[in-house]
Amino acid sequence: MQKYINVSIILIVMPQIKMTNLVKVYALLLLKKRPMHGYELIKELEAYMLREISAAHVYPFLKTLQKNKLIALKETGKREKKQYKLTNAGNKFAQELIDRFAELVELSITQ
């Protein structure tokens, strides 16, 4: 009997948050590691993905995370730069994404 991998479990984890590309996945995982400013997040994404990342890919996603109470904002420094930090709900969401991805990897290995 052949098992089919349900890709939708990785693409959409919460109805309001569509995880449809690697930029979003990496951004969430980077924020799980530590709080970051938007520009810092973009530079980290570029380093991991080995390509230029547009702010237009990152800031709307951050806004969606904020709207869904998965990140909190803190203004820091002289210029009051926004620092993004995962909330408890955001950490739980990120961990669920990791767990679901692990399930996909496990299914692909055991076939």
**Could you read off the pLDDT of 46-96 as tens digits, one per residue?**
999 999 999 999 999 999 999 999 999 998 878 888 999 999 999 999 999
Task: Name 44's Cβ contacts closer than 8 Å, sequence gap at least 6.
Answer: 30, 36
Mean per-residue pLDDT over the chain, rounded: 86
- Does the pLDDT of residue 101 top 50, yes or no? yes
- Does the pLDDT of residue 5 top 50, yes or no? no
- Does the pLDDT of residue 3 top 80, yes or no? no
Q: How far apart are CA 92 and CA 76, in angstroms?
A: 25
The percent helix, strand, coil of the chain (3-state, each to 5) is: 60, 15, 25
Partner residues linked to 14 by β-bridges:
17
Beta strands (DSSP E) in 1-111 are 12-14, 17-18, 36-37, 71-76, 81-86
Q: Is 77 helix (H, G, I), strand (E, B) or coil?
A: coil
CA distance readout (Å), 17 to 2, 41, 109: 30, 19, 28
- The predicted model scores a pTM of 0.81
- Does the pLDDT of residue 7 top 50, yes or no? no
